[in-house]
């Protein structure tokens, strides 16, 4: 999983909704898992089972590539309050004022270019007030280090901000280079922002003085280097004085390099979203079986059922858990590495990508392997709920499963089956019936899938893909590693290089959790920082630019159609984030489709 939040992925990339609830966000995208009575009890503790083999590895509210998984966002949100939080806490997705630093969505100027934002009355844990200067500090660091920031897309934030103006300690304005789609700005741009403690962090070494280094680009680069360096030392997270200065409902009480995290209620929190529980323990597991055994033993308050164990739902409910799917606003795909020296020339052929996609039995995989807890992905916009952004083209499978048709497509372009059934290029060249540019005679049609480990369903899906692709004449080998390793290794590389990966899968719990305005620029635009495979389509770039400017849903529908058709990766079924098992006396829990938790809202009942 990523944004996931591979929130652009990559992350990595997670769901955010504009202050105005959008049609695409409606109907059941978020589910409340709280059901019940019992008198609320303040205090106490709760334990939460982290996804198997997936543990937090980044604390800083300045994200970098390879550190964008949703479980990092869960920790970050608990410690530092985002400028704008969007959740499904109350049913439909929308602006969550209680969990935001801003008191309301922005006030816009008449020309639609300037947004003015007012902050609430939060304070840092050392007693200093949170001010506009702290937001400016975050902005200056991102602006001076934008290419290292995981959310950067050339031309987007912060490039499109022409002025950051402090009005007073509690308000500031941002002027953009043109009038954009305000839903996109609020949900996909301003939601990325934080206040971070300028009075404690604006320095370039442990012993260095705190000053206004961020207001000079060179100084901001030194501060970035210092802070990201400190954030790379996971074993010091619980003791580093930097991370003690927070404005969120929790402080960090413990953090182990194995991934165990303990959050403690912040006694100095001054906002409206204070924690009810004294502590929350985020527990790591090396396998889904181990996590499920903890549920069966009653050792975790908020766990999950492996897909293979769904038949044991009645048993789990008998142990005083409630069981509920945690759905997601996400898509799933395995990106292709278009720059890889060996596989890149293959992936750059439209007909080869189409033949690969025709060899993916999404319906069968979703039904049999994921036991009905996954939905096929046909393009860059989540299939459900089917809102205004989904094109007619993406509502159906443009490349239905048909290995015979896939093989015919290959042989029609000059490939012939070898002795083992895998096709070999027999007619090199760039003609309409030839193999294509960069493909030499005798080339076998093969590639490696680099896949995350720890999920039996993912392992089974990879084996099914390997088998069905072979029937079409395509060889796919499989290499596995833990999720964080796959995420770290899956990165852009220079054209013609041996990059260490050819196709990559990290979507056992969903690959990409999307912003509410489901812009695809992070992963599919030519300069996108989450565009790990260096996919480039000028038509997609142009359509995405139009969607950033227009409030008309047809602009995003055009992106949906083009990306669904062009296949920047292998579309694969999108599973539910998990099938949760939540103790009946733990209330206030929501199954937020952005795949993050809000533990300050949990409470015990008696």
pLDDT in tens, 391-423: 999 999 999 999 999 999 999 999 999 999 999
State the pLDDT at residue 512. Answer: 83
Residue pair 68/5 in contact by the 8 Å Cβ criterion:
yes
3-state secondary structure 56-81: CCCCCCCCCCCCCCHHHHHHHHHHCC
**What backbone torsions phi and psi does residue 213 show, to the nearest 5 degrees?**
-60, -35
pLDDT tens for each residue of 192-216: 999 999 999 999 999 999 999 999 9
Q: What is the pLDDT of residue 66?
A: 77
pLDDT reading at 25 higher than 50: no
DSSP code per residue over 139-159:
HHHHHHTGGGSTT--TTSTTT
What is the chain's mean pLDDT, rounded? 91
According to DSSP, the β-strands at 446-452 and 475-481 are parallel
Reduced 3-state DSSP string for 464-480: HHHHHHHHHCCEEEEEE
Query: Nearest CA to 23 among 525, 381, 521, 540?
Result: 381
Helix residue ranges per DSSP H, 43-202: 70-79, 132-144, 182-184, 198-201
**Looking up tokens 């193999």, which residue turns up?**
435
Enter the DSSP assignment of 367: I
- Left if phi > 0, otherwise alpha if psi is -120 to 50, otherwise beta: which for 204? alpha
At 570 the pLDDT is 98
> End-to-end distance of the chain based on CA atoms, in angstroms?
35
Query: Is the whole model's pTM more than 0.85, yes or no?
Result: no
E strand spans, 26-129: 31-32, 40-41, 45-49, 86-87, 94-95, 107-108, 114-118
Side-by-side strand order, sheet with 578-583: 250-255, 261-265, 279-283, 45-49, 302-305, 578-583, 321-326
12 pLDDT more than 80: no
Place of tokens 């939540």: 582
Confidence of residue 2 (pLDDT cuts 50, 70, 90): very low
Question: Mean pLDDT over residues 302-317, rounded?
Answer: 96
For residue 150, pLDDT beyond 70: yes
Q: Report pLDDT digits (tens) over 435-456.
A: 999 999 999 999 999 999 988 8
By percentage, how much of the chain surpasses pLDDT 90? 77
Does the pLDDT value for residue 31 go beyond 90? no
Whole-angstrom distance, CA of residue 129 vs CA of residue 198 = 11
pLDDT tens digits, residue range 543-583?
Answer: 999 999 998 989 999 999 999 999 999 999 999 889 999 99
Residue 27: pLDDT over 50: no
pLDDT at position 92: 64
Contact by Cβ (8 Å): 529, 5? no
| Position 151 confidence tier, pLDDT thresholds 50, 70, 90 | confident
State yes or no: cis peptide before 35, omega within 30 of 0: no
Residues found in the chain? 606
pLDDT band with cut points at 50, 70 and 90 for residue 69:
confident
570 Cβ neighbours under 8 A, 6+ residues apart: 333, 334, 336, 356, 357, 360, 503
Report residue 8's pLDDT band, with 50, 70 and 90 as the boundaries: very low
Residues 175/161, Cβ–Cβ less than 8 Å:
yes
CA-angle at 544, arms to 539 and 550, nearest 5°: 125
Token readout for 383 is 């299939």
Q: Which of 21-25, 234-238, 385-389, 577-581 has the lowest mean pLDDT?
A: 21-25
In the predicted model, is pLDDT for residue 22 greater than 70?
no
Phi, psi at 12, each rounded to 5° = 115, -50
Mean pLDDT of 469-476: 98
Handedness of CA 73, 77, 79, 82 (dihedral sign): positive
Q: What is the three-class DSSP state of 326? A: strand
555: phi then psi, degrees, rounded to nearest 5: -65, -40
Is a pLDDT exceeding 80 seen at residue 89? no
Joined tokens for residue 405: 């048709």
Above 90 in pLDDT, residue 484? no
Rounded to the nearest 10 degrees, how much is the dihedral formed by the CA atoms of 323, 324, 330, 336?
A: 30
48 pLDDT above the threshold of 80: yes
Among the ranges given (56-60, 356-360, 375-379, 590-594), the one the predictor scored with the smallest mean pLDDT: 590-594
pLDDT tens track for 502-534: 999 998 876 688 877 888 888 899 988 789 999
Contact 266, 249 (CB under 8 A): yes
Mean pLDDT across 4-23: 31
Element (H, E) at 358: helix 350-358
| 21: pLDDT strictly greater than 80 | no
d(CA 173, CA 381): 31
Q: Is the pLDDT of residue 240 over 50?
A: yes
- Judged against a pLDDT cut of 50, whether residue 42 lies above it is answered with yes
In the predicted structure, residue 362 carries a pLDDT above the cut 60: yes
Q: How sure is the predictor about 36, in pLDDT bands with cuts at 50, 70 and 90? A: low
Give the whole-angstrom CA distance, residue 257 versus residue 264: 18
């Amino acid at each position: 999983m990523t944004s996931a939040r591979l929130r652009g992925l990559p992350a990595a990339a997670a769901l955010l909704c504009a202050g105005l609830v959008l049609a695409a966000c409606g109907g059941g995208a978020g589910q409340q898992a709280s059901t019940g009575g019992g008198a609320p009890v303040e205090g106490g503790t709760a334990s939460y089972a982290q996804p198997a083999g997936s543990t937090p590895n980044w604390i800083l509210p300045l994200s970098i590539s390879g550190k964008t998984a949703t479980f990092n966002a869960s920790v970050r949100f608990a410690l530092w309050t985002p400028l704008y939080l969007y959740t499904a806490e109350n049913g439909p997705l929308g602006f969550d004022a209680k969990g935001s630093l801003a008191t309301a969505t922005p006030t816009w100027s008449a020309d639609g270019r300037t947004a003015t934002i007012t902050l609430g009355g939060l304070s840092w844990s050392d007693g200093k007030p949170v001010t506009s200067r702290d937001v400016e500090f975050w902005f200056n660091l991102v602006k001076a280090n934008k290419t290292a920031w995981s959310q950067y897309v050339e031309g987007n934030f912060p490039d499109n901000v022409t002025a950051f103006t402090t009005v007073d300690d509690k308000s500031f304005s941002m002027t953009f280079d043109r009038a954009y789609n305000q839903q996109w700005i609020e949900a996909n741009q301003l939601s990325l922002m934080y206040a971070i403690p300028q009075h404690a962090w604006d320095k370039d070494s442990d012993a260095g003085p705190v000053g206004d280094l961020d207001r000079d680009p060179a100084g901001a680069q030194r501060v970035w280097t210092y802070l990201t360096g400190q954030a790379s030392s996971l074993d010091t997270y619980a003791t580093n004085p930097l991370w003690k200065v927070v404005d969120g409902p929790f402080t960090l009480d413990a953090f182990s390099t194995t991934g165990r995290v303990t959050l403690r209620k912040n006694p100095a929190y001054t906002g409206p979203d204070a924690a009810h529980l004294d502590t929350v323990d985020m527990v790591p597991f090396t396998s889904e079986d181990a996590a499920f055994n903890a549920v069966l033993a009653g050792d975790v308050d908020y766990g999950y059922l492996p897909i293979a164990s769904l038949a044991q739902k009645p048993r789990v409910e008998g142990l005083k858990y409630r069981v509920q799917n945690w759905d997601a606003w996400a898509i799933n795909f395995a990106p292709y590495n278009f720059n890889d020296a060996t596989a890149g020339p293959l992936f750059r052929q439209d007909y080869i990508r189409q033949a690969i996609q025709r060899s993916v039995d999404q319906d069968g995989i979703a039904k049999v392997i994921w036991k009905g807890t996954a939905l096929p992905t046909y393009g860059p916009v989540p299939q459900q709920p089917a809102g205004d952004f989904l094109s007619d083209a993406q509502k159906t499978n443009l490349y239905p499963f048909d290995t015979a048709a896939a093989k015919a497509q290959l042989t029609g372009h000059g490939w012939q089956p070898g002795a083992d059934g895998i096709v070999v290029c027999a007619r090199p060249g760039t003609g309409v019936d030839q193999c294509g540019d960069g493909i030499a005679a005798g080339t076998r049609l093969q590639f490696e899938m680099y896949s995350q480990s720890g999920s039996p369903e993912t392992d089974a899906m990879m084996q099914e893909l390997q088998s069905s692709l072979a029937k079409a004449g395509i060889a796919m080998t499989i290499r596995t590693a833990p999720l964080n390793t796959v995420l770290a290794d899956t990165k852009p590389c220079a054209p013609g290089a041996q990059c260490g990966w050819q196709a990559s899968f990290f979507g056992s719990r969903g690959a990409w959790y999307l912003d509410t305005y489901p812009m695809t620029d992070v992963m599919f635009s030519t300069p996108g920082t989450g565009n790990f495979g260096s996919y480039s389509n000028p038509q997609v770039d142009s359509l995405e630019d139009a969607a950033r400017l227009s409030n008309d849903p047809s602009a995003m529908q055009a992106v949906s159609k083009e990306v669904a058709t062009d296949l920047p990766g292998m579309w694969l079924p999108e599973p539910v984030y998990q099938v949760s098992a939540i103790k009946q006396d733990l209330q206030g829990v929501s199954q937020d489709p952005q795949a993050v938790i809000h533990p300050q809202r949990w409470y015990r009942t008696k």
